[in-house]
Amino acid sequence: MRDLPPTVDRLVASILDQFPVHRGFLEQALDGATAEELDRLGRYLDFCIGKGLTPDYLAESYLTILGDTLDEQLYFREHDHYRHSSFADVAESVYHDRDYMDRYMYGLAISTFLWPNHVEMSRFLRRSLPKEKRGRYLEVGPGHGFLLLTAVEVGAFDDYLAVDLSAASVEQTRTIVEHFHPDAPARVEQRDFLTADDLQPGSFDAVVMGEVLEHVEHPEVFLRRIAELAKPDAFVFVTTCVNAPAVDHIYLWRTTDELEAMIAGSGLSIVEPLRLPYEGRSLEESRAEALPINVAYVLAPD
């Protein structure tokens, strides 16, 4: 394995101590990372350790996400549907369980650097986000905060607002942005994106929503709300997934065509798609075998 920043090396050692069979996957993931990405992961882990978290806890958080996802994939293969189909089904065991949500967010943040499709979606945002566009940026469901962090680092917007229903997500996103960019014009607030009165139609120059649609019962409502809030020339970036079971995924698209028809029917046009097949399979094989496909889109209001 290549030379790693010290905290990354400690994280990897702890993951392999707890789950040795993951070695091949980790070696491949880390060998494919750029020096800049490894540095960002190291700085993120330094930040977490500075908050009092340990490498063992962070490794456990990552392995929680990995184990839960593998369990849900097995359920999906056996039953041909996600385990849950409503927000109420998962709210108590996931979103209202603060200990689980904290581990969930830390684990997902680490997966951003280790899971190939998550890495590619992060690179896609960093590459496609307008570098000189000004105005107002809105992010819906910032989760662990890395998309907002990317927007602050890459973009030149005058105001950044992120909204999320989860207190754990709001706290993690707020603290990470304040730590790395304390002077950024960024706010992170706990509120409902669909009903907030101060989110005015046609008032945002960018709207970003990463990994939200699969967690809601009516994703078309969220897509229409994005189209409503975005200015006519807004940059819109959305990620989600097809046939991708997870502990809190409730909306199942079975094909990318089905998903993209919903996008088109919601007042948004696809400018640039990124369709990522299951690791080790082609898109055609992933479609034929109903394997997970991750997708990211640059969109524009119609």
Task: Render pLDDT for 141-199 as a digit per residue (tens, 0 to 9).
Answer: 999 999 999 999 999 999 999 999 888 889 999 999 999 999 999 999 999 999 988 89
pLDDT at 93: 80
Instruction: Return mean pLDDT, the chain.
Output: 96
pLDDT at 243: 98
Packing angle, helices 116-128 and 146-154, rounded to 10: 30
Token pair recorded at residue 139 = 């992010």
pLDDT at 3: 87
pLDDT at 186: 97
pLDDT at 94: 84
Percent over 70 (pLDDT), the chain: 100
Task: Render pLDDT for 73-88 as a digit per residue (tens, 0 to 9).
Answer: 999 999 999 999 998 9
Q: What are the residues whose beta carbons fall under 8 Å from the beta carbon of 97, sequence distance 6 or more?
A: none
What predicted TM-score, i.e. pTM, was given to this entire model? 0.96
Task: Render pLDDT for 197-249 as a digit per residue (tens, 0 to 9).
Answer: 889 999 999 999 999 999 999 999 999 999 999 999 999 999 999 999 999 99
Q: Please state the domain extents for the chain.
A: 6-113, 116-301
Q: Which H, E and C letters describe the chain, residue by residue?
A: CCCCCHHHHHHHHHHHHHCHHHHHHHHHHHHHCCHHHHHHHHHHHHHHHHCCCCHHHHHHHHHHHHHHHHHHHHHHHHHCCCCCCCHHHHHHHHHCCHHHHHHHHHHHHHHHHHCHHHHHHHHHHHHHCCCCCCCEEEEECCCCCHHHHHHHHHCCCCEEEEEECCHHHHHHHHHHHHHHCCCCCEEEEECCCCCCCCCCCCCEEEEEEECCHHHCCCHHHHHHHHHHHEEEEEEEEEEEEECCCCCCCCCCCCCHHHHHHHHHCCCEEEEEEEEECCCCCCHHHHHHCCCCEEEEEEEEEC
The CATH number of domain 116-301 is 3.40.50.10420: no
Mean pLDDT of 47-57: 96
Query: What is the maximum span of the chain, computed from C-alpha positions, in angstroms?
Result: 52
Task: pLDDT band for 258, please (50, 70, 90 cuts).
Answer: very high
Q: Quick check: 92 pLDDT over 90? A: no
Task: pLDDT band for 50, please (50, 70, 90 cuts).
Answer: very high
pLDDT at 95: 80
Q: Quick check: 97 pLDDT over 90? A: no
pLDDT at 19: 97
> Which stretch of 6-20, 88-102, 288-302 has the lowest confidence by average pLDDT?
88-102
Mean pLDDT of 29-41: 96
